[in-house]
Amino acid sequence: MGLDKIGIAKRIAQELQDGWYVNLGIGIPTLVANYVPEGMSVEFQSENGVLGMGPFPFEGEEDADLINAGKQTITAKAGASFFDSATSFAMIRGQHVQLTVLGAMEVSQNGDIANWKIPGRMVKGMGGAMDLVASAQNIIVAMMHSNKIGESKLLKTCTLPLTGVGCVKKIVTELAVLEIKNGAFHLVERAPGVSVEEIIQKTEGTLIVPEIVPEMVLA
């Protein structure tokens, strides 16, 4: 039960604000670009060096010199710009980018995030994630509530090597929207048809549940 990936992306898109520059990570976060509310002007930054990222190119118009951070072929919108990696991370560290959306393997109740390494098994590297989470003012984590073997990804403390400490403020999963405040997860909304009990049961960390938990409204 709960949302699919598109549902998660749609819910995150509701967090966008007019005039924001936004960095989207690989996977579910990339889908957020498809659901920008009508009439809203949001520019997407990709850390490999483009601002004003457009949709995927039409077949036959792919350009090897124009990709996003996920190495996918993209297009550039009118008004886009290209720049080098140092300038790109100046935008990120210098807090010129208003929102970062990224995936995670684990998030802890004090806002720590782990998403880059499983010791002895997966050694892909952190890419730009550490720079992004260390600096962004708004970080939304888009992820599934549990991992593939059914263990909660919302923990008291992360067990995997960290990407950043005390930085995550909001999480959107297939079951719920949660905020991190004062060292605990706070349940904000539940996905359509999902019970509060299920969210409690699937959250290992401390979860504060208000008396009324509204259901998400998705277009």
- Using rule CB under 8 A, residue 25 touches other proteins: no
Least Cβ distance, residue 154 to other proteins (angstroms):
19
Reduce the DSSP state of residue 36 to 3 states and report it: coil
- Using rule CB under 8 A, residue 128 touches other proteins: yes
Question: Which lies closer to other proteins via its Cβ, residue 86 or residue 217?
Answer: 86
Distance CA(112)–CA(104), nearest Å, equals 10
DSSP string, 91-142: HHHTT-S-EEEE--SEEETTS-EE-S-BTTTB----TTHHHHHHH-S-EEEE
- Using rule CB under 8 A, residue 85 touches other proteins: yes
- Using rule CB under 8 A, residue 187 touches other proteins: no
Rounded to the nearest 5 degrees, what angle is found at the Cα of 217, between the Cα atoms of 211 and 219?
A: 175
Mark whether 174 is an active-site residue: no
- Using rule CB under 8 A, residue 39 touches other proteins: no
- Burial of 185-219, coded b for 16+ CB within 10 Å and e otherwise, reads bbbbbbbeebebebbeebbbbebeeeeebeebeee
- Using rule CB under 8 A, residue 154 touches other proteins: no
- Using rule CB under 8 A, residue 135 touches other proteins: yes
* Span near other proteins by CB under 8 A; candidates 9-17, 76-84, 185-193, 210-218: 76-84
Least Cβ distance, residue 146 to other proteins (angstroms):
23
- Using rule CB under 8 A, residue 52 touches other proteins: no
Q: Are 105 and 25 in contact (CB under 8 A)?
A: no
Set 47, 106, 174, 204: catalytic member: 47
β-bridge mates for residue 186, sequence order: 179, 208
Amino acid at 185: F
- Using rule CB under 8 A, residue 78 touches other proteins: no
Pick from 20, 36, 82, 146: which binds other proteins (CB under 8 A)? 82
Structural element, H or E, at residue 7 = helix 5-13
Pick from 4, 40, 41, 84: which binds other proteins (CB under 8 A)? 84
- Tell me, what DSSP letter sits at residue 191? -
User: Which pair of structure tokens corresponds to residue 90?
Assistant: 């100046």
- Using rule CB under 8 A, residue 76 touches other proteins: yes
> Binding pattern to other proteins, positions 4-23, x when CB under 8 A?
--------------------
Catalytic residue numbers read 47
- Give me the residues that bind other proteins (CB under 8 A), please: 46-50, 55-74, 76, 82-86, 88-89, 92-93, 112, 120, 123-131, 134-135, 161-166
